[in-house]
C-alpha cells in the first residue's frame, strides 16, 4: 500500500479491471485514472468499477473523465445529456443572466451525476476562445468573446463546486486560434504574447480567484514566447501561470500520447519534460504498450499532495436513486431539460 499519490494518470482497456491493470494502478508512481466511453456500460457498472479502483490503494486514486457535454461526453446512456457549451454562448448573447443561471444548473447536474458514480472530477471547462479556426475545439468553446467565456465558465464552475466537484480549465493559454489538432499534429500559434494575453488568457485571469481548481496546458507551440509547447514550458507554467497569474492549483498535462507531445521525445522524456516544466500530474492515454515503460523508467517524483487532494470529489448522493430525491438536483435538472428542449 502507498501513503502518497504518484504523478501519473493512466487509463483502462474496458469496463472491468484486468489483473495487469490492477498491478499498474498499484504502482507508487500512479496517482489517478482517466475513464473513457469504452469503460462505461451503465451507472451501476460504473459505480462497481470505481469502487474496485478505490479499493486498490490508500490514499485512493483520483478518478477523472472528459465529460464536457456535446461531442465530448463519455458517459451517455443513463446520464443526462449535456449540450455543447456553444449553445450557452448563444444563450448569453440573448440574455446573460438567464444563460449564467442555466449554466450553473448544468454544472450542478454534470458534477452530481459523476460524483454519484464515484468519479472525482471532469476535465472541464474548456476556456479556449473560438477564433473560427480550430475544428477540434469548435462548439466545445463557449464563445468567441473572452469575457463571455469567463462569465459562463464561472457559472459552470460554481455549479460544479456546489455539487462537490473541482474544475479543470483547458487548454492554457489557448488552443482556439490554431487550425491543427494537437491529437494528430504539432500546432503552432504565431501570435505575440500581447495578443494571447489580451484574449485567450483573460478567462484564466478572471477564474483563478473565482474557483478554478486546476489547469491543463495545450500541446501548442507559441514560438514568439517559447520554442516548446506550453505543456513542456517552464516559462508558460512556472513564470506566467504560477508567478504572474498566481495560480496555486493543480496543473495536469494533456495526454502524452498525442502527436502534439511528440516534440519532447519518447514517453518517458515527455513525462519528465512536463513534470520539470511545472505539471503536477501527467496523463498517458490510449497507449497501453507505453504504460509499463513509463512506470519502469520514470524516476520517482514527489508530488504536491495537497493540490491532488483538492481534486477529490465529495458526492452528495451515493447513487442515482438517492440523487433523484435531492431537491436541488431536481430543480437543476429541470432547468437543464428546459434549455435542451429549447434547442430542438
Q: Which residues pair with 67 in a beta bridge?
A: 73
The residue assigned the cell 498535462 is 253
Unique residue bearing C-alpha cell 485567450: 200
For residues 109 and 80, the answer to whether their CB atoms sit within 8 Å is yes
**Gap between the Cα atoms of 202 and 208, Å rounded:** 10
User: 224: which residues sit within 8 A by CB, 6+ positions away?
Assistant: 190, 191, 192, 193
In whole angstroms, what is the distance from residue 219 CA to residue 263 CA? 10
Q: Among residues 183, 304, 319, 337, which one is catalytic? A: 183
CA gap 153, 71 in Å, rounded? 18
* Sign of the torsion angle spanned by Cα atoms 75, 157, 31, 114: negative
The distance from CA 257 to its chain's CA centroid, rounded to whole angstroms, is: 16
Of 66, 128, 254, 335, the active-site residue reads 254
Whether 93 is a known active-site residue: answer no
Question: Is 143 designated active site?
Answer: no
The owner of cell 501548442 is 220
C-alpha distance across the termini of the chain, in Å: 51
CA gap 150, 163 in Å, rounded: 20
CB 278 within 8 A of CB 77: no
| Residues 6/162/104/242 CA torsion (nearest 10 deg) | -40
The vertex-134 CA angle with 131 and 135, nearest 5°, equals: 135
| Burial annotation 136-160 (CB, 10 A radius, 16+ → b, else e) | bbbbbbbbebbebbbbbbbbbbbbb
Hey, what's the cell of 295?
Answer: 512506470
Spatial distance between the Cα atoms of 303 and 290, rounded to a whole number of angstroms: 21
Active site (catalytic) residues: 183, 254
Amino acid at each position: 500500500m502507498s501513503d502518497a499519490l504518484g504523478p501519473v494518470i493512466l487509463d483502462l482497456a474496458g469496463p472491468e479491471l484486468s489483473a495487469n491493470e490492477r498491478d499498474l494502478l498499484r504502482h507508487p508512481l500512479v496517482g489517478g485514472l482517466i475513464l473513457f466511453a469504452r469503460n462505461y456500460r451503465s451507472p451501476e457498472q460504473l459505480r462497481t468499477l470505481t469502487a474496485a479502483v478505490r479499493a486498490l490503494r490508500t490514499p485512493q486514486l483520483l478518478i477523472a473523465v472528459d465529460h464536457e457535454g456535446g461531442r465530448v461526453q463519455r458517459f451517455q446512456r443513463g446520464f443526462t445529456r449535456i449540450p455543447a457549451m456553444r449553445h450557452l454562448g448563444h444563450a448569453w448573447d440573448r440574455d446573460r443572466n438567464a444563460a449564467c443561471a442555466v449554466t450553473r444548473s448544468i454544472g450542478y447536474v454534470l458534477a452530481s451525476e459523476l460524483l454519484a458514480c464515484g468519479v472525482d472530477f471532469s476535465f472541464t471547462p474548456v476556456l479556449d476562445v473560438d477564433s473560427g479556426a480550430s475544428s477540434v475545439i469548435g462548439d466545445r468553446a463557449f464563445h468567441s468573446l473572452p469575457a463571455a467565456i469567463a462569465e459562463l465558465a464561472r457559472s459552470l464552475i460554481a455549479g460544479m463546486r456546489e455539487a462537490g466537484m473541482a474544475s479543470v480549465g483547458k487548454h492554457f493559454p489557448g488552443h482556439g486560434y490554431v487550425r491543427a489538432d494537437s491529437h494528430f499534429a504539432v500546432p503552432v500559434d504565431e501570435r505575440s504574447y500581447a495578443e494571447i494575453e489580451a484574449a485567450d488568457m483573460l478567462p484564466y485571469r478572471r477564474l483563478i480567484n473565482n474557483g478554478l481548481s486546476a489547469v491543463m496546458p495545450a500541446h501548442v507551440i507559441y514560438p514568439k514566447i517559447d520554442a516548446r509547447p506550453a505543456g513542456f514550458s517552464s516559462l508558460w507554467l512556472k513564470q506566467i501561470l504560477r508567478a504572474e497569474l498566481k495560480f496555486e492549483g493543480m496543473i495536469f498535462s494533456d495526454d502524452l500520447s498525442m502527436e502534439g507531445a511528440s516534440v519532447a521525445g519518447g514517453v518517458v522524456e515527455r513525462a519528465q519534460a512536463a513534470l520539470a516544466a511545472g505539471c503536477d500530474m501527467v496523463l498517458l492515454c490510449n497507449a497501453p504498450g507505453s504504460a509499463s515503460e513509463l512506470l519502469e523508467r520514470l524516476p520517482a517524483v514527489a508530488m504536491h499532495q495537497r493540490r491532488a487532494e483538492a481534486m477529490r470529489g465529495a458526492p452528495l448522493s451515493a447513487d442515482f436513486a438517492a440523487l433523484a430525491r435531492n431537491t436541488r438536483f431536481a430543480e437543476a435538472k429541470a432547468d437543464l431539460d428546459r434549455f435542451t428542449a429549447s434547442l430542438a
